[in-house]
Structure 1
Amino acid sequence: MVKSMTGFGRATKEFEAFKVTIELKAVNHRYSECLFRMPKQLAYLEGKLKKIINKQIKRGRIECFFSITGEQLAKRELHIDWDLADSYYRFIKQASARYELAELPKMSDLLQEQEYLSIEEEVDASSELERLVIETLTRATERLDEMRSMEGAELLLYFKQHLATLEKSLAIIQAEIPVSEKYYQEKIENRLQNIVGENFDQNIVLTEVALLLEKADINEEVERTKSHLKQFYGIILLEEPIGRKLDFLIQEMNREINTIGSKANSLRITEQVVEMKTTLEKIREQVQNVE
């Protein structure tokens, strides 16, 4: 089925003292990529969290933002580099004696020196917190996937409308082929009449017409394009990621349409080729957004 690669999902869960909020933002990408913005103490969960996302999201760039709060969540501890503090204090005493300072620095002055003082925060990555994070991410991923499916449904309608336009143009081209062949024959006959008059060999005309028609024959390209359109209809109904398949099919259709345009000398066919190329480009732009 058609799914967009863009979307947003958010979920919040609480358990006792913990509250976890996770936001997922998905954008286009050739492959599958997950970027996590979470406390480093939960980094060990990254592999498990990626599997949860990849179970539903097969292609795209997913940014994951974590907000975790709770009274028991963080433990803050004061860390002091006593060796550095001692060196600093000895320097102050020596400087005071050397320069005959009236008094030594106060403790409040020493506390302002951050080189040997630091406050470190540790997240309590308990089993309950881990369970809460996994449940929250699972729900956020489901909501992201729901949004991608909704956008995919709109893309499906868009594709069907433009595929119908391509089919209409292709039908006009196919109907124009006999007219174009007749035009070639009449053109050659008129040229021969202007050169040799009425007395010319009809077999020569038929031979020349056959050669021209063989070079300008677009029936094969038309049939291949019709086959590609049929494949496109089938692919957009598959229950799997289809973006790359559609992208390849667009390239194949573009190649066939270019060949039709280069072979045909009919103004009406040329007009339809231009129309088809414009429509195909619109489809191609949206295919880049399909998972």
Structure 2
Amino acid sequence: MLLSMTGFGKSVVETEHKKITVEIKSLNSKQLDMSLRLPSAYRAVELEMRNRLAHRIERGKVEAIVTVENIGSDSPTQFNLPLLKTYKKSLEDIADAIGVSHPADWMPLLMRLPDIMKAEAPAEDEQNESTALIKAADAATDALVEYRREEGRKLEEFFTQRIRQIENLLAEVPRYENERVSKIRARIEDNLAKLGQVDIDLGRLEQEMIYYIEKLDINEEKQRLRQHLTYFMETLDGETGQGKKLGFISQEMGREINTLGSKSNHAELQKIVVRMKDELEQIKEQVLNVL
């Protein structure tokens, strides 16, 4: 079945002192393009988290955000005094360099800067928090994949409707084929009649007309288009991760439809081809969202 590249997943896990929230959002992309934001205190698990996300998500523009809140009245946290001093010194240097005055009260500014609170937790708590973070990431990924699966079902229904519509339009083509050949033949004969009294080799004329009409034959294009439509539907029912293949098939369908249009030489056939192109463009647009 299909999986969409569009999805969202969220999970919240609590430890004794922390509430960890992981949110993952994905959009369509040709490759895996991941942005992961998490507090600096958890950089040790960043690589593992990236690898786990990449393995499950596979492809798409992915944004994962981890937020950690202190909970409980006895939460073992305190101000990160060395970092506060560093921030203040850096800001003073910047103010002196650009010639602006120092603020009268530094605290409101410093309190908005990142990582000014640090946890004084034992190693056991740090391990528990890292485990909880991975657990939250896995649960958020599960929710994201389920979201993608549901979106994939909708895409599959959409593609099926569009393919069936192209098949129905293709079934209308034979109604106009014989009429088309007759009109082409009549047009050529009318143009010859306008030339007046000209000696014409009727045998050669017949050969040229047959050759010209054969060049406008669309049986091969119809057959190949049917094969591509069938292959597209078979691919829909295959394994996940078929987005690129569906894109290639839709390109081949477009070539056959374009050739039908160039060979049609009939107003009603041209209308059918335009409607086929409209259906195909909708398919191509949504195929970009398929994993």
User: TM-score normalised by the shorter chain: which range applies?
Assistant: 0.7 to 0.9
- Distance apart, 1:38 and its partner CA: 1.0
Report if aligned partners of 2:3, 2:240 keep a CA contact under 8 Å in 1: no
Report if aligned partners of 1:188, 1:205 keep a CA contact under 8 Å in 2: no
SS at match of 2:289: coil
- Which residue identity does 1:76 align to in structure 2? F
Which of these residues, 78, 81, 92, is aligned with residue 78 of structure 1? Answer: 81
- Distance apart, 1:65 and its partner CA: 1.5
User: Which runs of structure 2 are paired with 1:193-232 in the superposition (5 Å)?
Assistant: 193-195=193-195, 202-232=202-232
Q: Which has the larger radius of gyration?
A: 1
- Which residue identity does 2:179 align to in structure 1? V
Match of 1:50 in 2: 50
Per-residue CA deviations over 1:265-291 (Å, capped at 9, x if unaligned) read 011211111101111111111111111
Report if aligned partners of 1:2, 1:153 keep a CA contact under 8 Å in 2: yes
Report if aligned partners of 1:174, 1:219 keep a CA contact under 8 Å in 2: no
Match of 1:233 in 2: 233
1:122 partnered with 2:118: yes
Separation (CA, whole Å) in 2 of partners of 1:150 and 1:144: 10
Match of 1:263 in 2: 263
Per-residue CA deviations over 1:155-210 (Å, capped at 9, x if unaligned) read 11111111111011112224433332233333334444554679965423421221
Separation (CA, whole Å) in 2 of partners of 1:111 and 1:272: 72
Report if aligned partners of 1:155, 1:286 keep a CA contact under 8 Å in 2: yes
User: Relative to 1, partners in 2 of residues 1:161 and 1:120: Cα closer, same or farther, differing over 3 Å?
Assistant: closer
Segment of structure 1 superposing worse, 8-17 or 168-177: 168-177
Per-residue CA deviations over 1:228-266 (Å, capped at 9, x if unaligned) read 111110111122212211122222211221121112201
Separation (CA, whole Å) in 1 of partners of 2:159 and 2:19: 42
CA RMSD, Structure 1 to Structure 2 (Å)? 3.1
- Distance apart, 1:15 and its partner CA: 2.5
User: Which runs of structure 2 are paired with 1:1-291 in the superposition (5 Å)?
Assistant: 1-70=1-70, 72=75, 74-79=77-82, 120-123=116-119, 126-195=126-195, 202-291=202-291
SS at match of 1:25: strand
Give TM-score, length-normalised by structure 1.
0.80
Q: Name structure 1 gaps, 5 residues minimum.
A: 86-108
Separation (CA, whole Å) in 2 of partners of 1:35 and 1:72: 30
Report if aligned partners of 1:34, 1:62 keep a CA contact under 8 Å in 2: yes
- Distance apart, 1:131 and its partner CA: 0.6
- How many equivalent pairs are there? 264
- Distance apart, 1:73 and its partner CA: 6.1
Give TM-score, length-normalised by structure 2.
0.80
SS at match of 1:282: helix
SS at match of 2:204: helix
Q: Name structure 2 gaps, 5 residues minimum.
A: 90-103
- Which residue identity does 1:19 align to in structure 2? K
Segment of structure 1 superposing worse, 189-198 or 205-214: 189-198
Separation (CA, whole Å) in 1 of partners of 2:63 and 2:188: 66
Separation (CA, whole Å) in 2 of partners of 1:18 and 1:28: 33
- Which residue identity does 1:122 align to in structure 2? K
Identity, % of aligned positions: 31
